[in-house]
Structure 1
Amino acid sequence: MPVIEWENRFHRALRGSNILVSIDGVDFRIMEPSPFNPKWYSHKFHGPGLRYELAICIRTGDIVWAYGGLPCGEWSDLRLARDVFIFGLREGEKAIADRGYNDPNFLISLTETMMGRKNRF
């Protein structure tokens, strides 16, 4: 059975590369807790859910990070990353992410990079 290992992000890494993983939040539907509380609301499917964060090695496709199971409405993708993920990065290392992760110190928006606006790597 495969195990999620953070250090696996270095498998087949290009020498000198400081971008090894992509990261994103994933929401999972749950039954509506009672009483109603907006902290569970997921904008991704307009109902209650739990949010998890996954990071995938961009060279191998292996899942190297999983964190979460937290209320969607209270935990944005960026808040999840700032809670634990960024502390696992080495100095100068960054992750590729979507625009929901607005922190150029640790995360690079692939959309903006491809459009030539900023964060060239």
Structure 2
Amino acid sequence: MLVALRFLWNYDTQNEIGRYFKIRKSDTISRLIKTWVPRIAETLIKKLPTWEELSNEELIILLSIDGTHCPIEEPRPFSTEWSSWKLGDNAGVMYEVALMVHKPRLAWLYGPIRPGKYNDIATFQKKLKGKMQEHLPDKRILGDAGYEGESSIISHRNPFDPEEIAEWKDRVMARQEKFNKLLKQWECVNKKLWRHGVAAHKDAMEAVASVTQYGLDNRSINLYDPYL
């Protein structure tokens, strides 16, 4: 497991990992990574709230939402569907991330999505919109301008908000950005180009999200109000 976590944190090559752990055989390192990254990813489902738990919350605006983009090597065959405007039109994948607004808890992670084909609102419409209508018909989500077009479900900042509501929305969205930054501390989903294919990237992101949530739960990391 430590080999897998080192791989996710630094996204080192097998040679670099081998030197760090004093493991000579590269196939041993490869086997450990391929075994443990999916196992860590599988723990994410235990950390996410159930739809029943979410429906029992009293808040109307219950979740915040945002998309985060991760760089990858250009998939073959070439397609502009992988082009990410957040990454300077270079190849990437996008994940839809939703948090509970009043607890340090991830509620939803969806992806990888082709950012050149689906923008934020189109990604929301693919899956989470239906889940909200089915399980949380009386709840709403707070999103940024990229989620305009679903006003019956998603609220936004707007110039008519009273001062205290405007400040609350700003704080919630700043908190969402802070969570995304916690994910991006892991080099496998940040600056280094992912070189192991899109399917494996999903396992890496879910593993990173699960470990991040465990850190929030045991308070080794925090998601305190960024304005305090």
Output the TM-score relative to the length of structure 1. Answer: 0.81
- Identical amino acids, percent of aligned pairs: 23
Aligned partner (choices 125, 147, 157) of residue 101 of structure 1? 147
The answer to whether the 8 A contact 1:24-1:55 is kept is yes
Quick check: 1:82 aligned with 2:155?
A: no
The answer to whether the 8 A contact 1:21-1:57 is kept is yes
Provide the residue aligned with 2:185 in structure 1. none
The answer to whether the 8 A contact 1:56-1:64 is kept is yes
**Considering only aligned residues, what root-mean-square deviation do their CA atoms show, in Å?**
2.6
Structure 1 unaligned segments of length 5 or more: list them.
none
1:76 is aligned with what amino acid?
N
Cα deviation, 1:12-57, whole Å, max 9, x if unaligned, reads x4x3x21100011111110012343110011111111111101000
Quick check: 1:116 aligned with 2:163?
A: no
Provide the residue aligned with 1:45 in structure 2. 87
Distance 1:53 1:26, change over 3 A: same
Higher strand share: 1
Alignment of 1:39-78 (within 5 A): 39-46=81-88, 47-78=90-121
Larger Rg belongs to? 2
2:49 is aligned with what amino acid?
E
Output the TM-score relative to the length of structure 2. Answer: 0.45
Instruction: Give the paired residue count.
Output: 115
1:87 is aligned with what amino acid?
G
The answer to whether the 8 A contact 1:6-1:65 is kept is no
Distance 1:97 1:84 in 2: 16
Structure 2 unaligned segments of length 5 or more: list them.
1-42, 167-228
Higher helix share: 2
Structure 1 residue 10: Cα displacement: 5.8
